[in-house]
Amino acid sequence: MNITKEQIDELNAVVKVAISKEDYQEKVDTILKDYRKQANIPGFRKGQVPMGLIKKQYGKAVLVDEVNKLLQDNLNKYLTEEKLDVLGNPLPKQQEDFDWESDNLDFEFELGLAPSFDVKLKTKKAVTQYKIVADKKMIDEQVERIQKQYGKLVSKTEVGKSDEVTGTFTNEAEEIENKTTIELSKIKAKKALDALVGKKAGESVTLKTKGLFKEDYLLSSSLGIAKEKAEKLNIEVTFTVEEINERQPAALDQELFDKLFGKDNVKTEKELRERIKDDSETQFEQQSDQKLLNDITERLIDETKFNLPSEFLKKWIQISGEKMLSEDEASEEFEKSEKGLRYQLIEGKIIQENELQVQLEELKEFAKGFIKSQMAQYGHLDPKEEELENIATRVLGNQDEVKRLSEQLMSQKLLTLYKEKSNLKVKEVNYEDFVKEAYS
pLDDT at residue 381, as a whole number = 66
pTM to 2 decimal places? 0.74
243 close to 166: Cβ distance less than 8 angstroms: yes
| Alpha-carbon gap, residue 2 to 117, rounded angstroms | 32
> What integer pLDDT is reported at residue 312 of this predicted model?
96
At residue 118, the pLDDT reads 95
Q: What is the mean pLDDT of the chain?
A: 93
Could you tell me the CA-to-CA distances from 392 to 75, 145, 150, 423, 433 in Å, in that order?
Answer: 39, 36, 35, 37, 39
Q: Amino acid identity, residue 150? A: Y
DSSP 95: -
Whether pLDDT at 370 is above 90 = no
Share of the chain above pLDDT 90, in %: 82
Q: Please spell the DSSP secondary structure of 282-305, one letter per residue.
A: HHHHHHHHHHHHHHHHHHHHHH--
Per-residue pLDDT, 39: 82
Neighbours of 256 (CB within 10 A): 18
pLDDT digits (tens, 9 = 90+) for 147-201: 988 999 999 999 999 899 999 999 999 999 999 999 999 999 999 999 999 999 9
> Which helix (DSSP H) or strand (DSSP E) does residue 417 occupy?
helix 399-421
Residue 166, phi then psi, degrees to nearest 5: -100, 135
Looking at residue 367, what is its pLDDT? Answer: 92
Provide mean pLDDT across the span 355-359: 94
| pLDDT confidence of residue 36 | 87
* Three-state SS at 154: strand
Q: Residue 6: pLDDT band by 50, 70, 90 thresholds?
A: very high
Mean pLDDT check: name the lowest of 133-142, 371-380, 405-414, 429-438.
371-380
Q: What is the per-residue pLDDT for 82?
A: 94
Give the tens place of pLDDT for each residue, 96-112: 888 888 989 999 999 99
- Give residue 64's pLDDT: 93
Please say whether the dihedral angle defined by the alpha carbons of residues 337, 341, 347 and 350, taken in this order, is positive or negative: negative
With a cut of 90, say whether residue 352 has pLDDT above it.
yes
pLDDT in tens, 380-425: 767 888 999 899 999 999 999 999 999 999 999 999 999 999 999 9
Task: Kindly state the average pLDDT of the residues 193-212.
Answer: 95
- Cα–Cα distance for residue pair 87/308, rounded to 1 Å: 9
State the Cα torsion 305-311-312-314 to the nearest 10°: 100
For the residues 366-377, what does the mean pLDDT come to? Answer: 86
CA distance 129 to 291: 8
> Whole-angstrom Cα distance, residue 329 to residue 337?
12
Distance in angstroms (rounded) separating the CA atoms of residues 164 and 154:
10
HSE-CB at 269 with a 13 A cutoff on CA atoms is 11
State the angle between helix axes of 399-421 and 269-303 in degrees (0 to 180), rounded to the nearest 10. Answer: 90
Phi and psi angles of residue 43, each rounded to the nearest 5 degrees, phi first: 95, -10
Stronger pLDDT, 109 or 49, i.e. the higher one = 109
Q: Is residue 180 within 8 Å of residue 221, measured between CB atoms?
A: yes
C-alpha dihedral, 307 to 309 to 314 to 316, nearest 10°: -140
Q: Going from the N-terminus, what domains does the chain have, and what CATH number goes with each? A: 2-113 (3.30.70.1050), 152-248 (3.10.50.30), 267-306+354-439 (no CATH)
Q: Are 253 and 209 in contact (CB under 8 A)?
A: no
Interval 295-317 mean pLDDT:
95
Q: So what's the pLDDT on residue 81?
A: 94
Q: Which amino acid is at 164?
A: E
Quickly count: other Cβ atoms within 10 Å of residue 165's Cβ.
Answer: 22
pLDDT, tens digit, 9 for 90 and up, residues 59-83:
999 999 999 999 999 999 999 999 9
The span from the CA of 349 to the CA of 294, in Å, is 18
Return all residues near 223 (Cβ < 8 A) that are at least 6 apart.
169, 176, 178, 209, 230, 233, 237
